[in-house]
Amino acid sequence: MDWNKEVTTQSAKEEEEEEEEEEEEEEGEEEEEEGKEEEEEEEEEEEEEEEEEEEEEEKKKLRELVELCGYNLILCCIRLITAQIGQLYEAARGSGSRLTAAAAAAGGAAWLVAVIVVVVVVVVVVVVVL
């Protein structure tokens, strides 16, 4: 009978060991699945961060481009209106009256100021919106 008890005890121990091994394998598989899920989540987060950084860089470049265009537009306006003022002054001076020449130049200067103000306001609004 002792032999029968030993066989039964040994079989029970083997079954317990097999069950423990199966449980360990299941736990290992669960941990691997969790690890894969975490890695996928981290990759998704990194991709989102990269996309956000790219969008910010694009906005920054666009803002810089708008600023440069605005500055160039202002300079062009100044040059054109300055040339126009010079032409008006020369044309009025050719007619003989300095007062007329000064009035033409003042009118041109008023246009210069008005155009520059409008351009500056437009550039500022565009930069602020972007």
The predicted pLDDT at position 78 comes to 79
Q: What are the pLDDT digits (tens) for 53-85? A: 999 998 888 888 878 887 887 788 778 877 877
Q: Which residues are within 8 A (CB) of 126 and not within 5 positions of it... i.e. 6 or more apart?
A: 66, 70
Q: Specify whether the CB–CB gap between 105 and 85 falls below 8 A.
A: yes
The predicted structure's pLDDT at residue 79: 83
d(CA 105, CA 46): 61
What are the residue ranges in the chain where pLDDT is below 50?
A: none
Range of the domain at 88: 2-129
Residue 110 tokens read as: 């008023």
As for how many domains the chain has, the answer is: 1
